[in-house]
């Protein structure tokens, strides 16, 4: 039987962390919380669940998660975010893997709760992620907001876990808008720095296509009004990203600081 470290990176997660750790402690032999300077009760909540807490300034998701993995007590790691919760079926599946692992890394399905509704279409589910792995066999890679764990060994074979990782990412419509603003700002600045530019026509049609794709082709309408909101704001996010790329590219050409 393997020993398992559960690792979580945090910043002001007092609203989410207890729910996350209450489920995780069932299968954890070690819980590590890497906090990047919370000013709320995050650290106290982590310690109340017996977690080890390390404080490390945030340098990006990839760097932070690799730091967390490196300081876990065990080679086998389950990496989850504070707004994620292991479902009972997923806990059972992980317990079976702990008894007799067949692979060195496992993929799971993430199911997102949007304003109180579980989104099972719109291109949001199954949102497959590799979260259970032997840390010595791979690492976190990616950019500022799109990180993933990958095997460095070949062949890159991943086992599959049963059950969902429940993702409580969007408590309100306003939270979704705030994330769109944050992520489109990061992505558009990165793309302009890399020389990308877009036309006004592409901005318009890309946003329309995003809605058609997510609402009709990916069956977002089956998720009811919540699905409509998801698809509409996904389209808006596409429009925002391309609009910012166009604007910042013009600023760059004119030598205007942005």
Confidence of residue 155 (pLDDT cuts 50, 70, 90): confident
Q: In angstroms, rounded to a whole number, what is the distance separating the alpha carbons of residues 119 and 105?
A: 26
Predicted local distance difference test score (pLDDT) of residue 144: 77
Would you state the pLDDT for residue 153? 85
- Whether pTM > 0.85 for this model: the answer is yes
- Mean pLDDT score, 209-236: 98
What pLDDT, on a 0 to 100 scale, did the predictor assign at position 257?
87
């Amino acid at each position: 039987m393997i020993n398992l470290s559960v690792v979580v990176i945090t910043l002001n997660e007092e609203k989410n962390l207890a729910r996350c750790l209450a489920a995780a402690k069932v299968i954890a032999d070690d819980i590590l919380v890497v906090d990047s300077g919370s000013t709320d009760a995050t650290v106290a909540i982590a310690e109340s669940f017996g977690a080890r807490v390390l404080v490390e300034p945030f340098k990006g998701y990839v760097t932070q998660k690799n730091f967390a993995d490196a300081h876990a007590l065990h080679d086998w790691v389950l990496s989850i975010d504070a707004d994620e919760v292991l479902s009972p079926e997923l806990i059972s599946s992980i317990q079976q893997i702990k008894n007799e692992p067949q692979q060195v890394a496992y993929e799971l399905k993430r199911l997102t709760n949007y304003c109180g509704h579980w989104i099972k279409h719109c291109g949001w589910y199954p949102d497959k992620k590799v979260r259970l792995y032997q840390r010595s066999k791979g690492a976190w890679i990616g950019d500022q907001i799109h990180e993933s764990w990958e095997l460095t060994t070949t062949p890159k074979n991943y086992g599959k876990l049963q059950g969902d990782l429940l993702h409580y990412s969007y408590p309100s419509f306003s939270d979704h808008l705030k994330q769109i603003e944050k992520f489109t700002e990061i992505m558009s600045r990165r793309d302009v720095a890399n020389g990308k530019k877009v036309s006004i026509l592409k901005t318009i049609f890309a946003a329309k296509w995003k809605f058609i794709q997510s609402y009709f082709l990916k069956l977002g309408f089956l998720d009811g009004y919540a699905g409509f909101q998801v698809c509409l704001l996904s389209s808006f996010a596409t429009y925002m990203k391309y609009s910012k790329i166009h604007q910042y590219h013009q600023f760059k050409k004119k030598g205007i600081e942005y």
